[in-house]
Structure 1
Amino acid sequence: MTLRNRLLVLLAAVAALAVVATASVLHASARAERRNEARPGGPRVTAGRVTLTAPGTMVFRNMAWGPHRDELTTVPAAAPAGPRTASGLKCLRFYAAAGTGVCLQAVHGTVTDTYRALILDARLKETARYDVPGIPSRARVSPTGRFAAWTAFVGGDSYAGTNFSTRAAIVDTRTGKLIPTLESFRIVKDGHVYHAADVNFWGVTFAADDRTFYATLATKGSTYLVRGDLRTRTVSTLHANVECPSLSPDGTRVAYKKRVKGLPKDAPWHLYVLDLRTMRETPLAESRSVDDQAVWRDDRTIVYALPGDYGADLYTVPANGTGRARLLSAAAVSPAYIR
């Protein structure tokens, strides 16, 4: 092949790559435009004012396609399927209590994404910002608003498999003091101090005393519910096979997902409630696998997310094992009830 022919082949290859690159950009742009278009039959979402102090409301991440997708939105708790008011603030995971919120966000870069946690005041204004070391998965605020917690995947991206690691952090929203990982806490397992290189924590949930919290501890292929003490920086195991605990408003029970034998490896969990006084488990009337940290709407009702047409839908089920699961709100995830 002559030099001229080689140059022609090279120019043709460069031109072909340019065409492919342009087509990719146009395709991505078209996808982004479709993402911002509201779909027929979806919930009505309009921009407005959202606060964390309006009693009787539910604030959550809106998953409906359209210009307000991923934004924090609110509806009356008594009308969860009604029109939504969008805040303009986008979060991957969210929670709020006592006028304080935590919003876990992705920061999209040219090569890779980074993540951060925003502490919010009652008007959704940022009061503090913290780097998050991986993909956010769980968020909680203590009942008083004093503490916020989040969990991120720092290796792997799913709880379903075994090849993952997590980092659970807690911050004092008054002082700004951050505990970047619960792995620095003293672990008491079955009454004895425990050390292991494979320890993971996730799914923090707080009691009302601004001292006690609960979380999942994983080690040696097993998971445990642990009770933590922020003053002594100690966690103690309470019950086996517990993931993503959520403490009831009255502080007496924990809702959680439990691995059930015989289910597919990618969908192994059923919802249970554990009575902390008797350690008695109650399976809930949800037959599908639930990979979420449930929320208590009140002392009688559990709310959780399942995959849906828009990404996720919220469902509800009685906390005492009776009744049946029912759809609460389509195209929604990460709810917080403002009391």
Structure 2
Amino acid sequence: MNHPSDTLLPPAARLKVIVVIIVLCAVLGAGYVLYASQRVKLVVGEQTIPAEELTTLDEVLTSRQRSPDEDDAPVAEPLANSTANMLAGEMESPATPDNGAASTSGTQANLLVFVNRFAGVDYSRLAVANALQPDKRALVDLRCARMYIASGRGICLQGTGESDRSEGVILLFDEQFRETRRYFLMGIPSRARVSPDGTKAAYTIFVTGHSYTGGVGTFSTDTRIVDMERDHRVSLEDFIAYRDGERFQHIDFNYWGVTFADDANRFYATLGTQGKTYIVEGNVQTQRIEVIAEGGECPSLSSDNRSLVFKERIGGALSATHWQLVHYDLATGQRTPLNETRSVDDQVEWLDNDTIIYSMPAGGSTVQPVTELWKLDITPGAEPQLYLANAESPAVIQQAGGSEMGKFSGG
């Protein structure tokens, strides 16, 4: 019988074997990288936005919505403003048509800024469209999971899927979509808003968990208000809360879904604690929060500051969670369920004082889920209508009375 040492290869031969193994590993590794990159291309795809749905920022600026019976109506002269001026709220009044007819509210090109959800290489890029006829979009070089912009200042929440970094970031940007400041994002992007005057921003991220559907106690959030002029952030958990005039506090407080009033000092949000949710009104300066209603999440304030629309949980525990959209009159406290039978897990945006828009899932992949925007009049009995496919996280800039186009709506 041979001794084991007699069967070993000479040192030189063993070195050759090791080299061969290393080379094979390198080849296999390179092959896998090539395979993976091709597989990603198959998942992500190349440009998938139809050419007829793409346009330029200048064309968005000068576009005008026509109703079907206005095909022969004169079109106002293009405004002598850039898209950046429109986003910053520095607008000159639109020209009057040659026939002398005054422009009616809604005839000029209000702007819609949103996150593109066409699957492909442009997924998550911000886009700009005519809010009144958003059939064409102009893309800009900024990617966000959630975003909002008002008066020329915006906030962009980037997860790892929207950047080439290993961590998420919160970007503040200007009217030309240029980054002005950034913070690290230690969590999953959820909600974003900017005050109508552009001085404050708010964001919500999931610290633990990734969805609201599990109910209070199944997730933890971090919600902060950013002073966009002083580079200062404050957590809503540092505010003092009151309910029915008495101090209200529990160790499990979570806030999310901020919406600002016109004065930027006042806001509304959701408070979750002890298995319940509350709609609260807050004051940035005094850092005081008041509970105004029980039930409801992710409020959005109308641009006239008179009402909220929020989602209200129906079911859960032993049944699937259903989110019902509810209109809430701030003066009377009256709640009116809106005529949307589908579950809407979103913080809505206001297209005008009577119409909201919100996102709904529309298929896609787990890597690039597709969503679409629907609109709904708050009038009882109104039916939901598809507003814009392949879009999410909208911000609407409104033109008041056919003249000034200075602010985004305050949702």
Deviations 1:247-306, CA, capped at 9 Å, x for gaps: 000111111110013798554211111001111111111111111110011100010000
- Runs (5+) with no aligned partner, structure 2: 59-82, 90-108, 365-369, 399-411
1:285 aligns with 2:339: yes
The structure with more helix, counted as a fraction of residues:
2
* 1:161 alignment partner in structure 2: 214
The CA distance in 2 between the partners of 1:133 and 1:266, in whole Å, is: 29
Closer/same/farther in 2, CA of residues 23 and 101 from structure 1, 3 Å limit: same
CA distance in 1: counterparts of 2:256 and 2:28, whole angstroms: 46
What is the distance in 2 between the residues matched to 1:109 and 1:68?
A: 10
Show the counterpart of 2:121: 67
1: distance between equivalents of 2:238 and 2:299?
A: 20
Residue 87, structure 1, aligned to residue 140, structure 2:
yes
- 1:190–1:250: structure 2 CA closer, same or farther, 3 Å change rule? same
3-state SS, counterpart of residue 307 of structure 1: strand
How far 1:186 moved relative to its partner?
Answer: 0.4
**1:159-199, CA deviations, whole angstroms, 9 ceiling, x for partnerless residues?**
111421101011111111111x2111101123221221111
Q: CA deviation at 1:121?
A: 1.3
Task: Determine whether 1:175 maps to 2:230.
Answer: yes
- Do the aligned partners of 1:36 and 1:69 also contact (CA within 8 Å) in 2? no
| 1:332 match | 391
Change (3 A) 1:213 1:41: same
- Corresponding residue of 1:318: 377
1:152 is aligned to: 205
Aligned residue among 22, 31, 35 for 2:40: 31
More strand by share: 1
Structure 1 stretches of 5 or more lacking a match? Answer: none
Deviation per CA, 1:217-255, whole angstroms, max 9, x where unpaired?
000011000000111101111111110000000111111
Contact residue 267 and residue 290 of structure 1 kept, 8 A: no
Hey, what's the Cα distance between the residues in 2 that align with 1:300 and 1:167? 31
Q: Distance in 2 between matches of 1:84 and 1:111?
A: 25
CA contact (8 A) 1:290 1:306 kept: yes
* Shift in alpha-carbon separation, 1:264–1:315, aligned structure 2, 3 A: farther
Aligned to 2:66: none
- 2:379 is paired with a residue whose SS is coil
Structure 2 residue aligned with 1:259: 313
Give, in angstroms, the shift of residue 114 of structure 1.
1.6
Equivalent in the alignment of 1:122? 175
- Provide Cα deviations, 1:19-75, integer angstroms capped at 9, x if missing partner: 477436523443236524234868723565764248611010111133322111111
The answer to whether structure 1 residue 132 and structure 2 residue 188 are counterparts is no
Q: Which is further off, 111-120 or 11-20?
A: 11-20
Asked whether the 8 Å contact 1:38–1:64 carries over to 2, the reply is: no
Q: Secondary structure in 2 aligned to 1:232?
A: coil
Pairwise CA RMSD: 3.0
Q: Which residue of 2 aligns with 1:213?
A: 267
Distance 1:58 1:110, change over 3 A: closer
Once the two structures are superposed, what CA deviation does each residue of 1:82-124 show, in whole Å capped at 9, x if it has no partner?
Answer: 1211011111101111111111112469998422211111111
Aligned CA distance change for structure 1 residues 327 and 232 (closer, same or farther; 3 Å):
same
Name 1:45's counterpart in structure 2. Answer: 54
Q: State the alpha-carbon separation in 2 of the partners of residues 274 and 317 from structure 1.
A: 15
Change (3 A) 1:195 1:40: closer
Partner of 1:302: 356
User: What TM-score, normalized to structure 1?
Assistant: 0.89
- Identity among equivalent positions (%) equals 37
Q: What is the deviation of 1:208?
A: 0.8
The structural deviation recorded for 1:327 is: 0.6
SS at match of 1:312: strand
One-letter amino acid of the structure 1 residue matched with residue 148 of structure 2? Y
Q: Distance in 1 between matches of 2:88 and 2:162?
A: 34
| Greater C-alpha Rg | 2
Which amino acid counterpart does residue 214 of structure 1 have in structure 2?
Y
Task: Please say if residues 49 and 118 of structure 2, whose CA atoms lie closer than 8 Å, have aligned partners that are also in contact.
Answer: no
